[in-house]
Amino acid sequence: MSKWRQRLERIEAGDSQTKDQSGGGFGNFDSFGKAVRPKALKPANPTIRIGPDYSDPLDVVDWFNERAAIIEEGCAVSRQEAERRAYECLIVDWLNRATSKQEDSTRCVRCKSAVSDQDAVPVLDGKGGHYVIHDACWPAWMRERRAAAEKALAAYGLSSG
């Protein structure tokens, strides 16, 4: 097993040896110049909902329109550009939610065949874990997931254009 995979598994398991114990420092280095892993970001209140409630179609459309209005005003962009960005926010939110834990990290999440340390790529799953996928499978997997997200959002009457 490669070092990066061991390290990822330790981090996800909450192993204290992988956490920053330097007690501070500057940037990503402690006061002795030793590289320090940044502290994990945690939401201040994990109950705060970032995306819409997908069980309520009106909530999805309301969320989209509200987000587009915020972007339009806050970023001083056209309504069309604001809606494009709001749509991309929904794509990311949907992708983060449409994940499940990879049961077998020795097999590619897309093609299910064995992965070696030479051709495996860890991809964050949006829920604090990761998927292991073949380097060659990654582009197609992302296209497939994006298409699934677009199809899901189309059910709410939302599209990219």
Structure tokens given for 81: 């550009």
Q: How many residues bind Zn ion (CB under 5 A)?
A: 5
Nearer to Zn ion, 82 or 108 (CB): 108
Nearer to Zn ion, 8 or 108 (CB): 108
Separation CA 158–CA 154 (nearest Å):
5
The span of 24-32, 60-68, 81-89, 126-134 binding Zn ion (CB under 5 A) equals: 126-134
- Of residues 51 through 110, those in contact with Zn ion by CB under 5 A are 108, 110
Least separation in angstroms between CB 133 and Zn ion = 6
In order, the DSSP letters of 100-134 are ---S-TTB-TTT-SB--TTTEEEEE-SSS-EEEEE
Residue among 49, 153, 142 nearest 91 (CA): 153
Tell me if 111 contacts Zn ion by CB under 5 A.
yes
Nearer to Zn ion, 20 or 125 (CB): 125
Least separation in angstroms between CB 57 and Zn ion = 35
Q: What are phi and psi of 124, to 5 degrees?
A: -60, 140
Residue 160 CB neighbour total at 10 angstroms? 12
Residues near Zn ion (CB under 5 A): 108, 110-111, 134, 137
